[in-house]
Structure 1
């Protein structure tokens, strides 16, 4: 059994549905149980996710933690598109059943494009999580602000294979609360900063294919890697594709793999929904794209055709 965890609020049901369908479609041989942690979801929203899992023989469970569980935290950055639910992942060891030894946490701005069993079977002996380095790992400011050594690097918290037994033993949830209460001014990237501090020496890094972030597709990346052709293949064929910045459902998304989101959206109750369904949205996108089409601005994303 593969255990997946997502923390969402009601605004993210559509995107969670896309993430789950992509997971189920590309892992049909696996038995999967999805654990949804949320402040509240209606019966209708719950039914949508359960009905998507049922044809694959998979299960969805729901958890509604007490309202005061996150009272010590606050959103520091991206407040317009990130809710307090993001901090639930810091508290998984106290929210999820004690019978769970590990769980694969997934953000819901993700599509799964392949078999995750290899990642699920990563050896977590003696460490708190398996993760992928963040595109911003080379920024000195992060380590100076969070007061830990750069040699420990910095991971993206949108995909985490979590060793729940380790988290319980080392009280990771308590450590997160204490750090935020003691040094709130150090936290910028919300729970991601917290988890990087608490797990700075207790993690193992895995290849980019398990969390291919938006930044790795950005213009100029071909000049920063030693073997562009090999890296290009990784970009074209990730297992976990993570839309970390501009989302594919935004009218002005230019991500080269944005259509992967719509492929799986069309397997959900939102089939056919597109951001450019109105003349107004199409006009806004055209105006946004003209400077790039005319060569007046550098492209945002690398050309994967070369």
Structure 2
């Protein structure tokens, strides 16, 4: 049996459905039972019913866990990371509280972001022994803003993982009382606008990186790996990153595509966004979704300034790009 956790609000349900379908098609024969838990931040009843039917068609189970009372329960305001009122939905923080949101008899879960497309089996990863680790995840690219965030909290040289795919040892989370550490961090930096919300929190709190098992990147291939050339990817990290061969292998043989926001490429559900290497594949699964009429949105053409910025990001040294950002006062919201 495998336990899978997603987090979503009503707006993201269409993309969640695509991820669910793709996961089931590639994994239903590898497990005797698949149980999904959706951290629910306002999903409508009619959408829940459609998602349940979708999963039942594959013989899997689906449960919704309300997250609306987390702020009241812990008496905290989860606005860390919201540079404007619409930057992050509340559901983006709920995975930090999995150790209490889920029953204590659930020892281990695989967390997946809803903006993912599964194209391979997670059987090998699920069977990985993480008894001595808090979690397992894939190294992320640190963009200029994230690099400055890391400097401010004193984690500049630490490995930084992307939390879109996490194999989580809930037993160890409970034993180490990590939720208390998350809350302490949020309260300390609640007036500070971090770029990646709960991802920033998790990387900052898990200071002992020996407790994080670093996975190969095929388990979480972000769009930035396609958008940037490897020589520039390696410039955005100060810790030991994957070799070029490892990255290229992951891009050719991914297990999960993670449709992260990129510098300028946009998402695979933007109509005509053929820059995305798996645009057609995403469309194939979108057509199977009961929410297919809500998935695609119109894109916008890049302005000359945006095209120039895209060129700088791809071709120019990250340190020089940071300098330009500072000159344009784009980071005033981050540096005090």
Q: Which residue of 2 aligns with 1:304?
A: none
Relative to structure 1, the CA distance from residue 170 to residue 126 in structure 2 (aligned partners, 3 Å threshold; closer, same or farther) is same
Q: How do 1:49-128 residues align onto structure 2 when only pairs under 5 Å count? A: 49-67=51-69, 68-69=72-73, 71-77=76-82, 80=86, 82-128=88-134
Question: Cα distance, 1:157 vs. partner?
Answer: 1.0
Q: Of 159, 167, 171, which aligns to 2:173?
A: 167
Q: Which blocks of at least 5 consecutive residues in structure 2 are unaligned?
A: 235-241, 315-336
Q: TM-score, normalised by structure 1?
A: 0.84
Q: How many residues align?
A: 293
Question: Cα distance, 1:256 vs. partner?
Answer: 1.7
Q: TM-score, normalised by structure 2?
A: 0.77
1:249 to 2:269 alignment? yes
Cα distance in 2, alignment partners of residues 205 and 230 from structure 1: 13
Question: Cα distance, 1:143 vs. partner?
Answer: 2.5
Cα distance in 1, alignment partners of residues 232 and 182 from structure 2: 37
Q: Encode CA deviations 1:241-288: one digit per residue, 9 max, x unaligned.
A: 101112211247432222222111111113476747xxxx4xx65x54
1:259 to 2:275 alignment? no
Q: How do 1:273-292 residues align onto structure 2 when only pairs under 5 Å count? A: 275=296, 281=298, 287-288=301-302
1:269 to 2:278 alignment? no
1:199 to 2:206 alignment? yes
Question: Cα distance, 1:125 vs. partner?
Answer: 2.1
Cα distance in 2, alignment partners of residues 135 and 193 from structure 1: 13
Q: Is the 8 A contact 1:6 1:36 kept in 2?
A: yes
Relative to structure 1, the CA distance from residue 250 to residue 298 in structure 2 (aligned partners, 3 Å threshold; closer, same or farther) is same
Q: Which blocks of at least 5 consecutive residues in structure 1 are unaligned?
A: 302-306
1:26 to 2:47 alignment? no
Secondary structure at the counterpart of residue 56 of structure 1:
coil
Question: Cα distance, 1:153 vs. partner?
Answer: 0.7
1:144 to 2:151 alignment? yes
Q: Is the 8 A contact 2:217 2:247 kept in 1?
A: no
Secondary structure at the counterpart of residue 257 of structure 2:
strand
Q: Encode CA deviations 1:180-232: one digit per residue, 9 max, x unaligned.
A: 10233555121111111222312110000011111111142267679767643
Cα distance in 2, alignment partners of residues 10 and 271 from structure 1: 14
Relative to structure 1, the CA distance from residue 171 to residue 298 in structure 2 (aligned partners, 3 Å threshold; closer, same or farther) is same
Q: Is the 8 A contact 1:187 1:193 kept in 2?
A: no
Q: Is the 8 A contact 1:135 1:213 kept in 2?
A: no
Q: Encode CA deviations 1:148-196: one digit per residue, 9 max, x unaligned.
A: 361x311111111111001111111111111110233555121111111
Secondary structure at the counterpart of residue 126 of structure 1:
coil
Cα distance in 1, alignment partners of residues 283 and 54 from structure 2: 16
Q: Which residue of 1 aligns with 2:325?
A: none
Q: Which residue of 2 aligns with 1:42?
A: 44
- Kindly report the root-mean-square deviation, in angstroms, between the aligned alpha carbons of the 2 structures: 3.1
Q: Encode CA deviations 1:40-98: one digit per residue, 9 max, x unaligned.
A: 32221111111111121100011113422474321424653520111100001110111
Relative to structure 1, the CA distance from residue 118 to residue 91 in structure 2 (aligned partners, 3 Å threshold; closer, same or farther) is same
Q: Of 182, 190, 195, which aligns to 1:184?
A: 190
Secondary structure at the counterpart of residue 129 of structure 2:
coil
